[in-house]
Amino acid sequence: MEFSAQQIAELLQGEIIGDSEIKVNTISKIEEGTVGSLSFLANPKYTKYIYDTKASVVLVNHDFIAEKEISATLIKVEDAYKAFASLLEIYQQYKENKIGIAESSVIEKTASLGENLYIGANVYIGNHTKIGDDCKIYPNTYIGDNVSIGEGTIIFSGVNIYSESVLGKECTMHAGVVIGSDGFGFAPQNQAEFKKVPQIGNVIIEDHVEIGANASVDRATMGSTIIRRGVKLDNLVQIAHNVEIGENTVIAALSGVSGSTKIGKNCMIGGQVGFAGHLTISDNVKIGAQSGVHKNLPEGAVVQGSPVVGYREWYRIASVLQKLPEIYRKIQKL
């Protein structure tokens, strides 16, 4: 799909410097620009590339002043980075604008389907499941019985959603996500054996949640595992049974939350963080990467390390750790 510089300028309420009729059909970095591509300049470090870029159209800030001739058509906007992000969102929506139900999909007769759906090849939708309007379900996805999926939700290829799960509006599940698998519940028996505890709860995911590729959210033993509105989980995150994650909390890749831990609103959790079970993490907490969380954390805490301590204390500990070999040599001499 092609857009002219004029169309882009009207969309962004920008000012054109150059050929208003020139067309673009792809996007690029400014240093990798090609004919027919749209790029942007926001960081002054990249200013040198604008004079040689082959991109046809470049978004720049209103205060940009060229020091020499530029072959690309410029569109001046208030904030080039935000404007480019807006265009990327529109471009993504265009790419994902699929509608239709593949013949190879299997949809049980008791399932309820909304309007303007895309259901790809080899998708299975179970009994009494409800799919809202404008949803997109990509190929090779399994959706079990009695599942509810809100309008505008996107489910990418290879996702597995177990029975009784509830997904809100405008969520995104990336490839390989598993929602509602059994929690890790086993009761010790005689002779070091374990008996599986039935996991009869479900998973509730509220609106505007995004879950990254190959992440897993376990169903509750009883009740619900709950992911609140606006939460963002990165790839390969593990959420155990009966966990609750508060609104707008973000968790980076390879982190794991053990059973029945409650995490508050607006928390920021780095990669490879591990949580013990049955903890309470209050609102607005920040946890550095590779930390081990073994205790409850108060509101606004900023922690790091394994086990976690205040980040200032962690930096002092880390600086001492680097000196341990030298200290050890001195002790040996003594």
Within-domain flag for 328:
no
- Segment 232-241 shows an average pLDDT of 98
| Residue 74 sits in the same domain as residue 133 | no
- CA-closest candidate to residue 237, choices 249, 222, 221: 249
Within-domain flag for 332:
no
Q: Is the pLDDT of residue 88 over 90?
A: no
CA 263, CA 267: separation in Å to the nearest integer?
Answer: 8
- From 56, 80, 95, the end of a domain falls on 95
- Segment 52-78 shows an average pLDDT of 96
Which residues are part of the catalytic machinery? 241
Give CA 177 to chain center in angstroms: 12
Q: Give the structural domain span for 67.
A: 3-95
Within-domain flag for 12:
yes
Q: How confident is the model at residue 95 (pLDDT cuts 50, 70, 90)?
A: confident
Q: Is the pLDDT of residue 199 over 80?
A: yes
Within-domain flag for 327:
no
Q: Is the pLDDT of residue 94 over 80?
A: no
Within-domain flag for 321:
no
CA 62, CA 9: separation in Å to the nearest integer?
Answer: 13
| Residue 88 sits in the same domain as residue 120 | no
Q: Is the pLDDT of residue 2 over 90?
A: no
Least confident range from 90-94, 142-146, 214-218, 269-273: namely 90-94
Q: What is the pLDDT of residue 97?
A: 81
Provide the whole-model pTM: 0.84
Question: 117: exposed, middle or buried (C-beta count within 10 Å: 0-12, 13-18, 19+)?
Answer: middle
Instruction: Answer whether 159's CB lies under 8 Å from 179's CB.
Output: yes
Q: What is the mean pLDDT of the chain?
A: 95
Q: What percent of the chain is modeled with pLDDT above 70? A: 100
Within-domain flag for 322:
no
- Segment 163-173 shows an average pLDDT of 98
- From 95, 126, 157, the end of a domain falls on 95
| Residue 252 sits in the same domain as residue 118 | yes
Taking CB atoms within 8 Å and a gap of at least 24, the contacts of 257-266 are: 259/183, 259/184, 259/185, 259/221, 264/299, 265/228
Within-domain flag for 216:
yes
Domain count, the chain: 2
Q: What is the pLDDT of residue 8?
A: 95
| Residue 148 sits in the same domain as residue 277 | yes
Q: What is the pLDDT of residue 328?
A: 87
